[in-house]
Structures are given as C-alpha cells and as structure tokens.
Amino acid sequence: MFNTRKKKNRELPTPIEMQAVAIDAFGGLEVLKARTMPVPQASHEQVLVRVAAVGVNPVDWKTRSGAGVAQHVRQFPFIPGWDVAGTVEQQGRRVTMFQPGDRVMGMVNFPAGGGGYAEFVVASDTQLVRVPHGVSLRDAAAVPLVALTAWQALFDTAKVKSGDRVLVHAAAGGVGHVAVQLARWKGAYVIGTASPHNHELARSLGCHEVYAYGGDEPWTTIDDVDVVIDSVGGETRALSLKRLARGGTLVTLLTGDSKAGLNSPTRVRKILVKPNQRQLEKIAELLGDGTLKVHTTVVSGLRNVAEAHSLSESRHVRGKIVVTVT
C-alpha cells in the first residue's frame, strides 16, 4: 500500500506512536496537553509527513478557545495545527506527485482536520508542494496559511493589479508581511500600518508609506485607496471604509469579529482561506527565487506550544511564529 522512507538504502520502519499536543475540550492555554498518540494511517490518496516544523496562526488559539473554526472540529481529542513542513514518510499507492524523502510544505486538513502539532501528520497530496532548494523546513512551515490567505485576499477577492493603492493593516504581522510583498510583486502602491518599532521592517518588505495604528494617525486621512486588507477589525475597519475610493474593496480576514461595515456587501468581503495547490506552487516559486521572504519567531519543541499560543495572542509578534518539532 505504501512506499516507505529510505535512508542509506535501508528501510526505516515508521513508528506506531508519536508525540503530539492535543486538546480534549475548548479553553485556555491549560487545555493544550502533550501526549503519546498513534501515528495516523494514510489512505491510498494521502501522504504521511514526518513534521519538522509547524506554523502557529491566530486561528489556532481562537479555535482552541472555542472560536475560530471550532465549529468544524468533529471530535476530541483534537490535534490543532494546519501549517506544516517536513519530509514524506510514506505515500499512498495512488500518489504520484511525491516520493518518500521529499521535502514538502502545506496547509493541511483545513479547517476541519488539523493534526500539525505532532511528529507525523497525514494529508492529501493535493494540499502539499515541494519546498524549494535552499529554503529551510522551519521557514517553509511559516508560509502556507498566511501566503494563501494573502494571495486569495489580494488576487482572488480584491483583484489587485499594477498601479492599485493597497492599504495593509498589521503590515509586519503574519499575513500582513506577506501581503505587502505580494502586492508589490504585482506592481501595487502599498501603504502599511504597524507599530512604530516595526516601521523599518515594513518599509524593507516593500511599503511605500508606513503609519502607526490608531484612529488619530495620519493613515486616516489617506484618500483613494483601492484595496484594504484588514486583519485588525473594529474601529480600524470602520475608519478604513472611509478611505476607499469609488469601487474600492475592503477584505476582512477575521472570523467572529465586529460586523462593522459588513452591511456594505459591494465594499466589504469576508474570506476564509482555502487549500489551493496551484497557488501554493507559485508561492513556493516566489519563495525559492527570493521574491518572497518570511520573518519568523521560533519556539523550540512541541512541549512549548502553549508559549507559542501566548505569543500569538499578544498580537505583538513580527512575522510568523513557528514551532520546531524535529
């Protein structure tokens, strides 16, 4: 049924148990529990991945607490985590795209399945792409969910094109720092908001203008913005709507947030990221040629996942949080 990972021409048996972090109920940091669990079994169309690193996103801790995509969680214990990078351990017999030993990354089993906070995870082969040469698995784990979110917000939803004026809130955050780079790659004029200590980073990513957060800051006087990428919500969203040009679009990335402005369906679009292998392959290409760079905050070991959640909840992290597994 499977091809198994080989090293130095000797087969290494896949273990039957693995270390993972799971929850038995929704709640605070205390519900994250390290435990020994069975290694999942891949079907004919799936790949078993030995996880090297897993990305931590706001949707992780929101779901852990009962919000986010918690409505999609089918049963407990539930292993959170959707952003992974690692090596192919086994491939189902119908899988032709990957071989054991291939380095891969992907947004796996989103939003229902999860499974990334573990030493092994199974995923459909269509959710994975190869990690470009020269890119570490740690950096690769930071990419899929935030980059697919930024891509789908900018290009699928807002139809950003060269010359558009794009306002990216939280321009130094996970999705924001990728959205800035993708918008510049497309030829847009990019305006960002960020904490003052992140202004230099935002400019280095490609922002033409950078402003501090807040309702009394200069960004609130900008006119004729074609697209707003909003991962902040609340007052920021309401003020951003006033900055839109005629025919402009605000894309909100938040789940369960204030509905300010959502009664203007022609101006506000709400998205939930979806797996897309074709898009992720293009993102991997941009990552490999240096067009796209990721900034990471690294937490070592699954035993410290709660620390990673706490950092993410603080909303003061540059770029993306990654937990190393192996």
Residue with tokens 């290694």: 39
25-70: pLDDT as tens digits: 999 999 999 999 999 999 999 999 999 999 999 999 999 999 999 9
Phi–psi pair at 244, nearest 5 degrees? -70, 140
How confident is the model at residue 4, as a pLDDT?
54
Percent of the chain residues topping a pLDDT of 90: 84
DSSP state of 155: I
Q: What is the CATH number of domain 2-143+294-324?
A: 3.90.180.10
What pLDDT score was predicted for residue 9? 42
pLDDT digits (tens, 9 = 90+) for 214-249: 777 889 889 899 999 999 888 889 899 999 999 999
What does the radius of gyration of the chain's CA atoms come to, in whole angstroms?
Answer: 20
SS3 251: strand
SS3 of residue 127 by DSSP: helix
What is the mean predicted confidence (pLDDT) over 151-179? 97
Contact by Cβ (8 Å): 158, 251: yes
The answer to whether the pTM exceeds 0.85 is yes
Report whether pLDDT(263) > 80: no
256 has a pLDDT exceeding 60: no
> Which of 109-113, 167-171, 295-299 is the least confident region?
109-113
Q: What is the largest CA-CA distance in the chain?
A: 65
Report DSSP letters for 49-102, one per residue: EEEEEEEE-HHHHHHHTT-TTGGG--SSSB----EEEEEEEEEETT--S--TT-
User: What's the one-letter identity of residue 102?
Assistant: D
Measure the CA–CA gap between 318 and 188, rounded to whole angstroms: 23
| CATH 1.10.1060.10 applies to domain 145-270 | no
Long-range Cβ contact pairs of 258-265 (< 8 A, separation 24 or more): 258/233, 258/234, 260/233, 260/234, 260/235, 261/237
Euclidean distance between the first and the last CA atom of the chain, given in angstroms as a whole number: 26
- For residues 167 and 189, give the distance between their C-alpha atoms in angstroms, rounded to a whole number: 9
Check whether 259 has a pLDDT greater than 60.
no
- The predicted-structure confidence for 198-223, as pLDDT tens digits, reads as follows 999 999 999 999 999 877 788 988 98
- Write down the pLDDT at residue 213: 83
Is residue 1 a contact partner of residue 44, using CB atoms and an 8 Å limit?
Answer: yes
Residues of the chain with CATH 3.90.180.10: 2-143+294-324
> Average pLDDT in the 154-174 region?
97
| pLDDT confidence tier of residue 13, bands split at 50, 70 and 90 | confident
Q: What is the pLDDT of residue 29?
A: 98
With a pLDDT cut of 70, the percent of the chain lying above it is 93
Lowest mean pLDDT across 57-66, 263-272, 286-295: 263-272
Strands 10-11 and 46-56: unpaired
Q: Over 70: is that where the pLDDT of 261 sits?
A: no
Judge residue 162's burial from the number of C-beta atoms within 10 Å of its C-beta, 0-12 exposed, 13-18 middle, 19 or more buried: exposed
* Average of per-residue pLDDT across 299-326: 94
Report which DSSP code applies to 110: T
CATH 3.40.50.720 domain locations along the chain = 145-270
DSSP lists the bridge partners of residue 270 as: 252
SS3 letters across 272-294: CCCCCHHHHHHHHHHHHCCCCCC
Q: How many CB atoms are closer than 10 A to CB 155?
A: 15
Please say if the pLDDT value at position 1 is more than 60: no
Mean pLDDT of the chain: 92
Please state, as a whole number, how many other Cβ atoms lie within 10 Å of the Cβ of residue 209.
16
Of 311, 297, 312, 309, residue with least CA distance to 33: 309
